[in-house]
Chain A
Amino acid sequence: DAKTTQPNSMESNEEEPVHLPCNHSTISGTDYIHWYRQLPSQGPEYVIHGLTSNVNNRMASLAIAEDRKSSTLILHRATLRDAAVYYCILKYGNKLVFGAGTILRVKS
């Protein structure tokens, strides 16, 4: 099964952009790259997903490397409400397999 590697934690200043990296060197050609986040005391929440092209939505942007072995979630202006655990996930069979994720801390 394809695995992802993320830094354990990152810190950002409020109002500044945040780039959350993810490595997935064993990704297969049909695996979508998903990002979810989990705010304290809440369930995971969908952020964005993509296959090959860069993707944008109102929450974030997803930049996918040309070889698809890595991707970066971009929060354009971090706010205190973006402090959460961010999970980079690949499809495995019928399910999303979560890793430990990256704890994002946002400083005011």
Chain B
Amino acid sequence: GAGVSQSPRYKVTKRGQDVALRCDPISGHVSLYWYRQALGQGPEFLTYFNYEAQQDKSGLPNDRFSAERPEGSISTLTIQRTEQRDSAMYRCASSLEGTGKGFDEKLFFGSGTQLSVL
């Protein structure tokens, strides 16, 4: 596609339910990132994939959060047993190359999934 596509655009769920958020990166992009953004704050890093390998998951808040990218393209961020504090905008980004020395790759962000946990 022309850009990074995320679905659903909005997700409302009840506390305790599991949710799966999908990201379809720009075709051919090697790197994929997940960020979370609370209202009025900058994006907070969650996890990073290089092709299908999850190389950095240091930003995942706890073990209820997991992500996969099995074929090195589409990625899914799963939140189990959702809590109200999980409510936020979840953003996916991709870049053409994997990071090398001096990280100089542009990230392209999707429109995000607004998650509301009631």
Cross-chain contact A95 with B109 (CB below 8 angstroms): no
Question: A49-B104, A91-B102, A95-B33 given as contacts; is B56 within 8 A of A44 (CB)?
Answer: no
Say which size band chain A's interface belongs to. 20 to 34
- Chain A, residues 39-70, CB within 8 Å of chain B (1/0): the string is 00011111001010000000000000000000
Query: Within residues 77 to 118 of chain B, which ones have a CB less than 8 A from any CB in chain A?
Result: 91, 93, 99, 101-104, 106-112
Bound together, the chains give a CA A46 to CA B56 distance in angstroms of 22
Bound together, the chains give a CA A42 to CA B4 distance in angstroms of 13
Cross-chain contact B103 with A87 (CB below 8 angstroms): no
Q: Whole-angstrom distance from the CB of A31 to the nearest CB of chain B?
A: 7
Q: What residues on B are CB-neighbors of A91 within 8 Å?
A: 99, 102-103
Question: A30-B102, A91-B103, A95-B56 given as contacts; is B42 within 8 A of A101 (CB)?
Answer: yes
Bound together, the chains give a CA A36 to CA B103 distance in angstroms of 15
For residue B65, CB closer than 8 A to chain A, the reply is no
Cross-chain contact A32 with B109 (CB below 8 angstroms): no
- B111: nearest residue on chain A (CB-CB)? A43
Which of B50, B99, B103, B107 is within 8 Å of A46, CB to CB?
A: B107
Question: A96-B45, A98-B44, A101-B42 given as contacts; is B107 within 8 A of A44 (CB)?
Answer: yes
For residue B16, CB closer than 8 A to chain A, the reply is no
Chain A interface (Cβ within 8 Å of chain B)?
30-32, 36, 42-46, 49, 51, 85, 87, 91, 93-101
3 closest Cβ contacts across the A-B interface? Answer: A43-B109, A98-B42, A91-B103
